[in-house]
Amino acid sequence: MARLALITGGTRGIGAAVAQRLDADGLRVAVTYHGNETAAQDFAAHHPIPVYKWDVTDFDACRSGIERIEAELGQGVDVLVNNAGITRDAVLHKMSVAQWREVVDDDLGACFNMCRNLIHGMRERGWGRIVNISSINALKGQFGQTNYAAAKAGVIGFTKALALESARKGITVNAIAPGYVATDMVHAMDPQVLAGIVAQIPVGRLGEPDEIAHAVSFLVDERSGYLTGATLSINGGQYMA
C-alpha cells in the first residue's frame, strides 16, 4: 500500500504545492487547514485529496483529527509535513503578548502537537518521515520578527532532538528553511519592504512553492533514510549558513 502523507496548512501556498507533489509521487495524501474556508473549498474542488479542518495549536484536536484520518483512510500516517504557520510581525517594543503567543503556539507548538500524536504509530511500524517547515529568518533573524524567528529557530532544535530520538526506529526528521516564497504570507507584506528584500536575493526573485515541494519530495523518499536532523536552506542564496 502507498505511504500516507499528512500536510498541515495544506490547502494553499507551500502546503498545497507539497500536497500536489506528493500525490503526483504516488503517495496517499491528506491535508489540514484551519482559517481560510475559500481556499479549502477551492483546493477540494480541484484536487482528489481529502481535506480536514482543525486547529493545530489544540493538542486534543490534533489527536482526534489524526485518529479520524487514520480510521477513514484505513492506515497510519507515515509522512508528516508540519507546514501550517502564521506571522504577526511587529518590532519587539510594540509586540503584544498575543502576537508573541500566537506565533509560538502556531509555528512551534503545533510541531509538538502533531509529532506527539503521530510518533507512536511511526515507531511501532518502524518507518516514518517528518519534515518541519522552518524559515530563513530562524537562521539570520529578521527586523520585526522576534516571535517568528524564535519559533522557527525552535523548530530546528526540535527537529534535531527528535531526529536523535527517532533514528533507531527508521524515522527521519528534517527541517526546511525556505527563504521568501511567493505565497499569501509573503504577499501580505508591505510592498516596499518586500521589494527591498527581493533586491537582496542573489537569484533575483521570490521562490516558488513548487521549489520547496521538490525538496520535501526528496526528503520523504524511501531512499532518504540516511538523511536526518538536517536543515535544508532553499532561499535563492539570500543567506548561506
Instruction: Determine, following the binding rule CB under 6 A, whether residue 186 of this chain makes contact with ligand CAA.
Output: yes
Which residue number is nearest to ligand CAA in terms of Cβ? 144
Retrieve residue 229's grid coordinates.
Answer: 536532523
Residue from 44, 167, 185, 227 binding ligand CAA (CB under 6 A): 185
Residue 148 engages ligand CAA in binding (rule: CB under 6 A): yes
List 82's β-bridge partners, or say none.
132
Q: Report which residue type is found at 99.
A: Q
Our finding on whether 135 is near ligand CAA (CB under 6 A) is: yes
Annotation says 148 is catalytic: yes
- Is 195 a binding residue for ligand CAA by CB under 6 A? The answer is no
CA contacts within 13 A on the Cβ side of 235: 25
Residue position matching grid coordinates 495524501: 29
**Using CB under 6 A, which of the segments 29-37, 109-117, 120-128, 129-137 binds ligand CAA?**
129-137
Phi, psi of 141 (to 5 degrees): 75, 160
- E runs forming strands in 183-235: 231-234
- The sign of the CA dihedral 177, 143, 90, 190 is negative
Catalytic residue among 148, 180, 226, 239: 148
Binding site for ligand CAA (CB under 6 A): 87, 89-91, 94, 135-137, 142-145, 148, 180, 185-186, 189-190, 193
